Amino acid sequence: MRTDPDQKIRFRVIPSEEGMLLRRWISRRVPEMGSERARDLIRAGGVYINQLRVRVASIRVTAGERITIYPKALEVAPLDPEALRIVHRDPHILVVDKLPGVAVTSTKETSVGTLSDALVRMLSAEGVRRPYVGVVHRLDMRASGLVLFSTRGEANKSIHRDFKRHLIERTYVVELRGHMEEERCCEAPLHIRPNRSVVVADANDPKGIHARTAFRPLEQRAGTTLVEAQLATGRMHQIRVHASHLGHPVVGDARYGDQHASADARGAMTSPLHLHARKLRFEHPVTGEPLELIGHTPSWATVAAEPLADVD
């Protein structure tokens, strides 16, 4: 057995264990878990055989297989579909207004507690057989706002094509440290590292990818600025890295430079991330109808003189 700092446990199946049911094998290797909790762990997506996530408890193990277990998956509660804030729904697409702290889709530790999992369970409860939920784009777990999903394969393909062509307009409201006095545009290329952190790439870095973010100040505050950010490209952590590169990290973003952000004893961030995906504008992937969808506005993102929308 091997354990890692991120609390995953790794085992190798030995010859005498050949053919055991996976849940029984886990309860044998981790006796404190028991067979029932092992089954729950598998269903939550916290078990991998080699590099493949397995969610069927009755599968049988084979000698030599490497099995990785994420016990934290048992700590995550399913997201109640009734709690979803659906902004738009038709037979082809869904747009959900995500709360902060909720993952869009599966993390490495679990498939439970995510928007995509809740949508699948919602459609199943409605009688949809083999419900399909296509993740079109992602939003940081600690961020909030509009997320677009497809519920038909043909729509998913079309929407992904529009994202690549930058035909889907995404507008964010972000609170930044310091005072940004005028509109600014950042086109610094980005380098996504293997550990999923993002840095501004050097000029000669062959792994640097083009990225462009426009920032427009909305309101000056005590030590911060509320801005509107528009993406011309959609790279991972793009707004956060570009804002930090300009000397104005996002409020609550310790990873990219906010020295005022706080964390708990385990290193998990406790400060809210002030980044909200407020508006989506695009043509419907099947009907061609122009859509402009606007979600709620969290209290921190409200402009004092002219509110952007209704506040929670």
pLDDT beyond 50 at 170: yes
Q: Do the domains at 2-75 and 168-273 have one common CATH topology?
A: no
Work out the pLDDT band at 275, boundaries 50, 70, 90: very high
Pairing between β-strand 144-150 and β-strand 275-283 as defined by DSSP bridges: parallel
Q: Look at domain 2-75 and name its CATH class.
A: alpha beta
Task: Tally Cβ neighbours within 10 Å of residue 112.
Answer: 23
Work out the pLDDT band at 164, boundaries 50, 70, 90: low
Instruction: Identify the CATH number of the domain defined by range 168-273.
Output: 3.30.2350.10
What percent of the chain is predicted at pLDDT more than 70? Answer: 90
Asked whether 192 and 300 are in contact (CB, 8 A), the reply is no
As a whole number of angstroms, the distance between CA 216 and CA 213 comes to 10
Asked whether 263 and 133 are in contact (CB, 8 A), the reply is no
pLDDT beyond 80 at 92: yes
The pLDDT assigned to 166 comes to 62
- Break the chain into its structural domains and give their ranges: 2-75, 168-273
pLDDT beyond 70 at 142: yes
As a whole number of angstroms, the distance between CA 227 and CA 303 comes to 10
Which of 2-6, 20-24, 106-110, 231-235 is least confident? Answer: 2-6
Work out the pLDDT band at 311, boundaries 50, 70, 90: very low
Residue type at 55 in one-letter notation: R
Query: Which two structure tokens, joined as six digits, stand for 225?
Result: 């600025």
The pLDDT assigned to 286 comes to 86
As a whole number of angstroms, the distance between CA 62 and CA 49 comes to 10
- The terminus-to-terminus CA distance of the chain in angstroms comes to 48
Which one is predicted more confidently, 188 or 3?
Answer: 188
Which of 47-51, 159-163, 222-226, 285-289 is least confident? Answer: 159-163
Asked whether 134 and 155 are in contact (CB, 8 A), the reply is yes
The reported pTM is 0.85
Work out the pLDDT band at 6, boundaries 50, 70, 90: low
Dihedral over Cα of 121, 126, 131, 135: its sign: negative
The pLDDT assigned to 63 comes to 96
Residue type at 250 in one-letter notation: V
pLDDT beyond 70 at 245: yes
